[in-house]
């Protein structure tokens, strides 16, 4: 029955001391879909994400990616399995150029977790370079290719980070509040970008509390409140769900 | 701009030019060192050996940002290993150097494996602790190998099995050699110079390799590196071992140019010195550490040789009480006290040129270019900073 579920979170519980952060979480993420997890602050969104990527071990339950249990795996192992992650604050290589940032990501896909070829030259990595340049073109970052990533605007840093994930052709892309701290203009550009890459059939999980972002992107929404999933459904279902309005939207119309 | 991006505008052609100029400058050292009074093999050798040490240290510190404070341990180990080859097997320098690097590598694997479980200050302290342990052990438990305070020296009765086999090993203590060529005086310098050029070439290759780029990325953001799919620890361990081998190479060359080894080469101030050389020249740049090594060894040579009577001559034109005062003050900074001068120099560089001497050279180069361009296109220089 679970053939086309890329990610299968079942019966996950997690508590910190006396605080029950996650209660019996079950999530099935369908292949090729954009699945949003929303919820008010403190609902357990970040804790959930951290258990998925192996940063936190769940007390009970399992997290299966493509049939492989992710609990106990390290960050690089999970990435090499095909899970890429975008952080709340863009995590990029600030001291390197934009092009180098992308090249590093492309090399990880090709070379694996470790490779030592000290006499190979970056000058002869023309295939990697071409791939990276194409990606920059695609992302509208080409004019910045030789600039240190530190000089980029917040929105461009986010685009760069997404580009670094995309060049690895992950099966699952995790986005943690991809528009957090962005001006409206940058938020809209980022939504455009995410809508564009939606067409590529990559499975995405978005953690977000900006409704505008969620409703313009998600195929399916899970609502998290106080560590438990209180509702699931299409954006239309969620918009009309009174339980959600009460817990999350505070009763106002969207 | 403070952030120098090391890979930026380099091209294969440029690198070839850098390599050629470097080799030329090293090989012609006896000529250009004449006006500054450094044209004798003993000092030139020291430039080359400490250059190798600093170039290797820079591979670790400059690329990954991991600050090791125990690299002198590898230097000392390399010296001991080389001298043992001279004693037991042969006076051929190649074997001594190879063995020195091998033993240093084994040491670096062991120390790196433990120390790299931590980063930042904890890593520095762990390496310092290991180096000091090695230093103390060389004086105590390991005396049969290190010959304690006397140091390990050659002896007329040493077996030198391989040399004996080929009917060599006449009377007295022979000099290290390279297939029959005795490595003394300028021959020894040129041996070190060729090794230095090779060491620089390897460093250049590593800087330009995907491996080197990944190391820079580790320095920049280790979290992103992990989430991009890299297992970072083996990367840092590998370059730690390479860097330890460079130190072992430098140590064995010290033994080649002067066949003895003592534990004082492993003391913590020696570890600190290579950090100073690298930062003074410009950490993370290709030739900076070499410049730093030459500057420190040259300054040491000049300042540590000055004595009070020379100072008295220098200030002799002043009235006698003033002369006495000046000599009193100045003597703090020379002779034994030359480290005080070094400290001041270091502070000045770190405060005014955080990128080291290389940053100074860039600024001068940038100013000249701006003047030539008449102020136009001045902003471009920030982006196209060269990486040497």
Which range has the top average pLDDT, A192-206, A240-254, B233-247?
B233-247
What per-residue confidence (pLDDT) applies to B377? Answer: 47
B236 has pLDDT over 90:
yes
Over residues B276-283, mean pLDDT: 95
Across A109-120, average pLDDT: 94
Q: In whole angstroms, what separates CA B331 from the centre of its chain?
A: 28
The Cα B317–Cα B6 span in angstroms is: 50
CA distance B185 to chain A (A): 34
* N residues, chain B: 388
Q: Model confidence over B154-187: pLDDT tens digits?
A: 988 888 888 888 876 566 788 898 988 889 899 9
Does the pLDDT at position B2 exceed 50? no
DSSP string, B14-57: HHHHHHHHHHHHHHTHHHHTTTTT--SHHHHHHHHHHHHHHHHH
Select from A53, A77, A95 the residue whose CB has the most chain B CBs within 10 Å, as the one to mutate to test that interface.
Answer: A95
Residue B61 included in any domain: yes
Q: Could you read off the pLDDT of A29-77 as tens digits, one per residue?
A: 999 899 999 888 888 888 898 888 878 889 999 999 998 999 889 999 9
Q: What is the pLDDT of residue B83?
A: 96
Q: Mutate which of A73, A75, A98, A167 to test chain B, going by most B C-beta atoms within 10 A?
A: A75
Closest B-chain CA to A115: B211
CB A182 within 8 A of CB A94: no
Q: Is B252 contained in some domain?
A: yes
Here the contacts of B164-172 (C-beta below 8 Å, separation 24 or greater) are B168/B91
Of B371, B205, B232, the C-alpha closest to A113 is: B232
- For residue A11, the surrounding DSSP H or E stretch is strand A5-16
B88-112 mean pLDDT:
96
Residues in chain B closer than 8 A to A52 (CB atoms)? none
Output the six-digit token pair for A108.
């990880």
- Alpha carbon of A142: minimum distance to chain B alpha carbons (Å): 15
Interchain pair B228, A123: CB under 8 A: no
The whole-angstrom distance between residue A206's C-alpha and the CA centroid of its chain comes to 6
Instruction: Name the residue among B3, B210, B226 with its Cβ closest to that of A76.
Output: B226
Q: What is the ipTM of this complex?
A: 0.91
A95/B231 touch (CB, cutoff 8 Å), yes or no = no
For residue B316, is it within any domain?
A: no
Q: Residues of A with CB below 8 A from B7's CB? A: 96-97, 100, 122
From the list B209, B221, B238, which residue is nearest A92 (CB)?
B221
Say yes or no for a CB contact (<8 Å) between A121 and B205.
yes
pLDDT at B170: 61
Mean pLDDT, rounded, for A113-126 = 94
B156 versus B43: the higher-pLDDT residue is B43
CA distance to partner chain A, nearest, from residue B382 (Å) = 10
> What is the rounded distance in angstroms from the CA atom of residue A235 to the CA atom of residue A243?
14
Cβ-proximal residues to B127 (8 Å cutoff; 6+ apart), any chain: B68, B69, B70, B71, B111, B115, B271
* A103 has a pLDDT exceeding 70: yes
Please indicate whether, in this complex, the C-beta atoms of B220 and A95 are within 8 angstroms of each other: yes
Whether residue B347 contacts residue B354, with contact meaning beta carbons closer than 8 Å, is answered with no
Pull the structure tokens for residue A110: 């090709």
pLDDT for B387 = 47
Residue B8 confidence (pLDDT) above 80? no
Q: What is the average pLDDT score of chain A?
A: 89
Residues in chain B with CB shorter than 8 Å from the CB of A119 are: 205, 209
Which pLDDT value is given to residue B385? 45
A254 has a pLDDT exceeding 50: no
- At residue B388, does pLDDT exceed 90? no
pLDDT of A1 strictly over 60:
no
- Residue B289 lies in domain: 15-303
Contacts of A100 in chain B (CB under 8 A): 5, 7, 213, 217
For residue A242, pLDDT beyond 80: yes
Taking residues B117-145, report their average pLDDT. Answer: 93
Could you say which of B202, B214, B242 has the minimum Cβ distance to residue A107? Answer: B214
DSSP secondary structure letter of residue B88: H
**pLDDT more than 70, % of chain A:** 96
Cβ atoms of residues A204 and A192 within 8 Å: no
| Rounded-to-integer distance, Cα B194 and Cα B27, Å | 8
Average of per-residue pLDDT across A156-165: 94
The residue of B19, B211, B227 whose CB has the most chain A CBs within 10 angstroms, and thus the best one to mutate to test that interface, is B227
pLDDT confidence of residue B245:
98
**pLDDT value of residue B378:** 43
Q: What is the mean pLDDT of chain B?
A: 89
Phi, psi dihedrals of residue B75, rounded to the nearest 5°: -60, -50
Buried residues in B313-326 as b, exposed as e (16+ CB within 10 A): eebeeeeeeebeeb
Burial B335-356 (b: 16+ CB within 10 A, else e): eeebeebbeebbeebeeebebb
Q: Is residue B271 part of a domain?
A: yes
**Residue B122 placed within a domain:** yes
Higher-pLDDT residue of B305, B55: B55
The pLDDT-based confidence of B258 (bands split at 50, 70, 90) is very high
Which of the residue ranges B64-73, B256-265, B340-349 has the most confident prediction, judged by mean pLDDT?
A: B64-73
Nearby residues of A254 by Cβ (< 8 Å), 6 or more positions away: A211, A215, A239
Chain B CB contacts of A80 under 8 Å are 229
Residue B104's domain is classified under what CATH number?
A: 1.10.3470
Other Cβ atoms closer than 10 A to A118: 19
Of the partner residues B208, B220, B227, the one whose CB lies closest to the CB of residue A94 = B220
> For residue B266, is it within any domain?
yes
Determine the Cα–Cα distance for residues B213 and A104; give it in Å rounded to an integer: 8
Our count of domains for chain B comes to 1
Q: Which residues of A make CB contacts under 8 Å with B?
A: 53, 74-76, 79-80, 84-85, 87, 91-97, 100, 103-105, 107-109, 111-123, 125, 146-148, 150, 164, 168
The beta-carbon neighbor of A114 closest among B9, B220, B234 is: B234
- Asked if residue B237 lies in contact with residue A110, where contact means CB atoms within 8 angstroms, the answer is no
What does the alpha-carbon distance between residue B44 and residue B38 come to, in Å, rounded to a whole number?
7
When pLDDT is averaged across residues B136-150 and rounded to a whole number, the result is: 90
Whether B5 maps to a domain, the answer reads: no
User: What per-residue confidence (pLDDT) applies to B376?
Assistant: 53
Interface of B with A (CB under 8 A): 3, 5, 7-9, 11-12, 202, 205-206, 208-214, 216-217, 219-221, 223-232, 234-235, 238, 242, 383
Question: Does a structural domain hold residue B32?
Answer: yes
Buried-state track B20-45, b at ≥16 Cβ within 10 A, e below 16: eebbeebeebbeebeeeebeebebbb
């Amino acid at each position: 029955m679970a053939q086309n579920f890329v990610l299968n979170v079942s019966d996950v519980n997690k508590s910190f001391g006396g605080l029950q952060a996650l209660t019996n979480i079950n999530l099935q993420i369908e292949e090729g879909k954009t699945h949003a997890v929303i919820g008010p602050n403190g609902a357990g969104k970040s804790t959930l994400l951290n258990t998925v990527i192996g940063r936190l071990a769940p007390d009970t339950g399992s997290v299966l990616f493509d049939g492989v249990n992710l609990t106990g795996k390290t960050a690089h192992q999970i990435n090499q399995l095909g899970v890429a992650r975008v952080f709340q604050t863009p995590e990029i290589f600030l001291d390197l150029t934009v092009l180098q940032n992308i090249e590093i990501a492309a090399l990880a896909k090709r070379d694996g977790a470790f490779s030592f070829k000290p006499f190979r030259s970056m000058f002869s990595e023309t295939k990697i370079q071409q791939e990276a340049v194409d990606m920059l073109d695609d992302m509208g970052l080409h004019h910045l290719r030789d600039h240190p990533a530190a000089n980029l605007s917040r929105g461009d840093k986010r685009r760069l980070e997404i580009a670094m994930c995309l060049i690895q052709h992950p099966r699952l892309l995790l986005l943690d509040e991809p528009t957090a701290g962005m001006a409206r203009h940058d938020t809209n550009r980022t939504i455009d970008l995410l809508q564009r890459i939606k067409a590529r059939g990559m499975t995405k999980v978005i953690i977000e509390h900006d409704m505008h972002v969620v409703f313009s992107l998600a195929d399916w929404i899970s609502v998290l409140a106080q560590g438990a999933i209180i509702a699931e459904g299409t954006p239309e279902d969620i918009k009309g769900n009174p339980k959600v309005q009460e817990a999350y939207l505070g009763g106002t119309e969207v | 701009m403070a952030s120098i991006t090391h890979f930026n505008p380099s091209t294969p052609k440029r690198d070839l030019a850098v390599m050629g100029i470097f080799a030329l400058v090293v090989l012609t050292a006896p000529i250009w060192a004449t006006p500054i009074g450094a044209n004798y093999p003993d000092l030139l050798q020291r430039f080359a050996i400490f250059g190798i040490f600093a170039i290797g240290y820079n591979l670790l510190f400059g690329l990954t940002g991991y600050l090791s404070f125990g690299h002198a341990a590898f230097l000392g180990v390399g010296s001991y290993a080389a001298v043992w080859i001279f004693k037991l097997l042969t006076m051929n320098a190649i074997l001594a150097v190879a063995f020195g690097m091998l033993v240093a590598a084994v040491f670096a694997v062991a120390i790196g494996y433990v120390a790299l479980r931590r980063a930042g200050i904890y890593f520095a302290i762990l390496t310092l602790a290991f180096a000091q342990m090695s230093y103390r052990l060389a004086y105590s438990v390991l005396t049969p190998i290190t010959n304690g305070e006397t140091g390990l020296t050659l002896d007329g009765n040493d077996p030198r099995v391989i040399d004996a086999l080929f009917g060599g090993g006449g009377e007295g203590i022979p000099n290290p050699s390279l297939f029959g060529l005795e490595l003394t005086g300028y021959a020894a310098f040129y041996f070190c110079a060729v090794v230095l050029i090779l060491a620089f070439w390897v460093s250049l290759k590593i800087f330009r390799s995907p491996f080197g780029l990944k190391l820079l990325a580790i320095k920049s953001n280790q979290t992103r590196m992990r989430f991009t799919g890299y297992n970072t620890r083996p990367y840092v361990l590998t370059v730690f071992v390479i860097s330890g081998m460079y130190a072992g190479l430098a140590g064995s060359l010290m033994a080649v140019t002067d066949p003895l080894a003592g534990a004082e080469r492993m003391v913590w101030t020696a570890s600190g010195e290579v950090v100073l050389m690298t930062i003074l020249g410009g950490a993370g740049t290709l030739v900076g550490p070499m410049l730093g090594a030459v500057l420190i060894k040259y300054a040491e040579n000049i300042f540590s040789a000055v004595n009070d009577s020379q100072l008295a001559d220098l200030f002799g034109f002043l009235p006698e009480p003033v002369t006495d005062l000046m000599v009193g003050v100045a003597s703090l900074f020379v002779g034994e006290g030359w480290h005080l001068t070094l400290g001041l120099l270091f502070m000045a560089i770190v405060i005014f040129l955080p990128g080291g001497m290389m940053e100074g050279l860039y600024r001068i180069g940038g100013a000249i270019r701006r003047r030539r361009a008449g102020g136009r296109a001045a902003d471009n220089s920030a982006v196209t900073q060269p990486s040497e």
